[in-house]
Amino acid sequence: MLTIRRDKEIHREEGGWFSARWHFSFAHYRDPENDAFGAMRVFNDDRLVPGAVWPMHPHQDVEGLTYVVEGSFGHEDSVGGAPGPLPAGSVQRMTLGSGALHSERNASQDEPMRFIQIWILPDTAGLDPEVEQKVFTRQDRSGRLLRVMGPEGGQVVRIHQDASVHVASLAPGDQVEHPIGEGRGAYAYLIDGQARFDGEPVATGDAAKVTGQPSLTIAADAPSELILVDVPLSFRPVGIWAGGRA
């Protein structure tokens, strides 16, 4: 089943020095119909003005994933990780298992910065705090869905869960297909452009939940950037999420 979420339907949060689109319940915002998607708890599209800093804050039992859309992403934490800043196309995973502090910032004093923030709930509670990041170029993802994060690690940033993240930069006429295993779901977000998800027209800011089907076909009608998260729909919550908060 393909469920399209239009840009205008997704919560917008304005903070002066930042603006964001919160796709699921987050902070003070609650959306009972979009509280999570399988093992994915948060999907935010964040923009920071030049020099802005999201102050140090704690999390626990979360795989905090970042994809840098544009600008220069700066990161600080309480565990001494993540040299940077990171350019557009980069990905980062911060494991906030036993609890740690971190902050995000726009490393440029002149240009805006945009990043996608994702929370994946881990398969193990109390993991040691850790940061891993990799830089990928536009060429790496041109004309294909590039796997940038997954449980296997190695050439991709490791996630402590059976989940994966894929990004693509598509030219008009490009078509890609993502297989979806049984019991899994895909969340696809059109960062920019015009495309079709299984033939359904989508535009900048639109997203789709995909469940109960073997694949998703994405065809670009204009230059398009997108990100896709593949997650198990059923999983065993651990740590602070074990009480049914997942």
Let me know if residue 246 belongs to a domain: no
- Dihedrals φ, ψ of 171, to 5°? -95, 160
Let me know if residue 163 belongs to a domain: yes
Alpha carbon distance 130, 95 (integer Å): 5
The β-bridge partners of 53 are 105
Q: What is the CATH number of the domain that holds 16?
A: 2.60.120.10
Q: Residue 203: is its pLDDT beyond 90? A: yes
Are residues 170 and 220 in contact, defined by beta-carbon separation less than 8 angstroms? yes
Quick: pLDDT tens for 64-110.
Answer: 999 999 999 998 776 766 667 999 999 999 998 776 777 888 999 99
Closest CA to 190 of 1, 10, 38: 10
Let me know if residue 54 belongs to a domain: yes
Are residues 131 and 66 in contact, defined by beta-carbon separation less than 8 angstroms? no
Query: Which of the pair, 40 or 81, is modelled with greater confidence?
Result: 40
The β-bridge partners of 110 are none
Are residues 66 and 73 in contact, defined by beta-carbon separation less than 8 angstroms? yes
Q: Residue 57: is its pLDDT beyond 80? A: no
Q: Residue 4 belongs to what H/E stretch?
A: strand 2-5
Quick: pLDDT tens for 145-183.
Answer: 999 999 999 999 999 999 999 999 999 999 999 999 999
Are residues 224 and 167 in contact, defined by beta-carbon separation less than 8 angstroms? no
| 47 Cβ contact partners less than 8 Å away, ≥ 6 residues apart | 18, 19, 20, 112, 113, 114
- pLDDT for 197 equals 98
Number of separate domains in the chain: 1
Mean pLDDT of the chain: 93
- pLDDT for 54 equals 78
Tokens of residue 54, six digits = 């999201």
Domain that holds residue 196: 2-241
- pLDDT for 229 equals 98
Share of the chain above pLDDT 70, in %: 96
Is 39 exposed, middle or buried (CB count within 10 Å of its CB: 0-12, 13-18, 19+)? buried
Q: Residue 231: is its pLDDT beyond 70? A: yes
Q: What is the pTM for the complete model shown?
A: 0.95
Are residues 30 and 93 in contact, defined by beta-carbon separation less than 8 angstroms? no
DSSP conformation letters of 188-243: EEEEESEEEETTEEEETT-EEEEESSSEEEEEESSSEEEEEEEEESS----GGGTT
Let me know if residue 216 belongs to a domain: yes
Q: Residue 220: is its pLDDT beyond 60? A: yes
φ/ψ bin of 197: left (φ > 0), alpha (ψ from -120 to 50), beta (otherwise): beta
Rg (CA), the chain: 17
Specify the length of the chain in residues. Answer: 246
Quick: pLDDT tens for 185-195.
Answer: 999 999 999 99
| 65 Cβ contact partners less than 8 Å away, ≥ 6 residues apart | 91, 92, 93, 117, 118, 119, 120, 149, 157, 159, 165
Q: How confident is the model at residue 7 (pLDDT cuts 50, 70, 90)?
A: very high
- pLDDT for 246 equals 40
Share of the chain above pLDDT 90, in %: 82
